[in-house]
Structure 1
Amino acid sequence: MSAPVVAYAGHADPASPFVILLHGRGSDERQILALAEHLPAGPSYAAVRAPIAEGGGFAWFANRGIGRPVAGSLRAGLDWFRAWLDAIAPPGREVLLIGFSGGAAFAGGLLLDDPSRFRATAILYGTLPFDAGLPTTSGRLAGASVFVAQGEHDTVIPRELLDATWRYTRDESGASVLARRDPVGHGIAPAALTALSGWLEQQLTQDRP
């Protein structure tokens, strides 16, 4: 895989917190970058294009069903992403992830693979990548900070995967979790966006555990 295509917004200071936006399946980096307009000023925002062309857009991994990554494809994507990330943001710079839909599953995969690498992770209207070769053991995310937003009427992500993500993050992972469900489908509710912005501001201003 070649180096990813990346769109940026916010501060260019390499010492500033680095917030990475991960788009959904069939979308691209330009669409998800618009989210930065509703988030706190201060960080450097980077929207990364997924590596697999699909449906006029791009995807993070091959699926064996909606929300169910092919393990080998997910592994290749994680390694590709980490090679880019570790070159542009060496360990020591705070990195935060915000993923939507398929990008939420990818963000969750990055977090499960290396929980200590990320300052905080938002999983928006998507599922963690269960049964895809990554550990989802009890306490795996101890010390991590996670924001979860789901739509009560989401018919895109299978309900059993949304429920499993809700249960694991809140009750089993060991993470510090802010989770909400809003009466929407597969899209970001305005109230959830406001909550996400407030949560992100808190992550950026409080000391890391």
Structure 2
Amino acid sequence: MSRYHFRSAEGADKAAPVIFLFHGTGGDEDQFFDLAGQLLPGARRVAPRGDVSEQGALRYFRRTAEGVYDMDDLAQRKAAMTDFIAEQIGDSRPSRVLGLGYSNGANILASVMFAAPDLFDAAVLMHPLIPFTPAEADFSDRQVLITAGRYDPIAPAAASQALADYFTANGANVSLTWHEGGHELRQEELAAVQQFL
């Protein structure tokens, strides 16, 4: 059984798409749950809660400083999350498997994608920061939306562009949406997410 506490809601039918929702640092399984219901009516929703506490703020993996990841911890937690997602998908794959993550949630989602490129059909990565070079992988027929702030102090624009370039170079169909702010989520991002889904 899963090691994660999570919130879920069944889809309209067995073949309905499933969307996995990953909160940012300090968020929880409720952060995007209702929003996802509005963006993707009829889909099954699964929102795991991060199981790492950073001074009381929930996260999906440890870091030693801002933008400096505990890579051993990330490797372990990425494996656990990959298993959780596969377990939730089950034996009969739904029509589409989607992921949506913000900040730390986008980072665990991207890390799972690097490890298991065939798991998600499409993913929304909002303000991700991947401060390492992922291994080559085949993302053919996968769709990726990255949303980012041009002046984001936590996830610099160059890092967002590098991640988009990585997915493009590895065969994904990539969209990159910018806003003129920082690490906050803005309305134009959510509009891009709605259009993408």
Q: Structure 1: any 5+ residue segments left out of the alignment?
A: 201-209
Q: Distance in 1 between matches of 2:39 and 2:105?
A: 18
The 3 A distance-change label for structure 1 pair 141 and 64 is farther
Partners of 1:66 and 1:157 within 8 A in 2: no
The 3 A distance-change label for structure 1 pair 42 and 12 is closer
Deviations 1:68-99 (A, max 9, x none): 43222111112211222222212523321101
**Offset of residue 173 of structure 1:** 2.8
2:127 is matched with which residue?
A: 125
1:55 is matched with which residue?
A: 55
Deviations 1:144-194 (A, max 9, x none): 210010011211224442332233234x23210111111122122211111
Partners of 1:51 and 1:77 within 8 A in 2: no
**Offset of residue 9 of structure 1:** 4.2
Q: Structure 2: any 5+ residue segments left out of the alignment?
A: none
**Offset of residue 43 of structure 1:** 0.7
2:177 aligned with 1:180:
yes
Deviations 1:114-159 (A, max 9, x none): 111111111101123524xx41x3x642332100100112112244
Deviations 1:37-68 (A, max 9, x none): 54121211121101212232311111244334
- Partner residue of 1:164 out of 159, 162, 168: 162
- Partner residue of 1:106 out of 85, 108, 111: 108
**Offset of residue 22 of structure 1:** 0.4
Q: Distance in 2 between matches of 1:12 and 1:5?
A: 23
Q: How does 1:83-98 map to 2 (within 5 A)?
A: 83-90=83-90, 92-93=93-94, 94-98=96-100
Partners of 2:149 and 2:157 within 8 A in 1: no
Among all aligned residue pairs of Structure 1 and Structure 2, give the percentage whose two residues are the same amino acid: 26
Q: Distance in 1 between matches of 2:154 and 2:4?
A: 27
> 2:120 is matched by which residue type in structure 1?
F
Partners of 2:126 and 2:148 within 8 A in 1: yes
SS in 1 for 2:152: coil
Alignment length (residue pairs): 195
SS in 1 for 2:7: strand
Deviations 1:102-122 (A, max 9, x none): 111111111111111111111
SS in 1 for 2:101: strand
2:21 is matched with which residue?
A: 21
Partners of 2:148 and 2:177 within 8 A in 1: yes
Q: TM-score, normalised by structure 2?
A: 0.87
SS in 1 for 2:105: helix
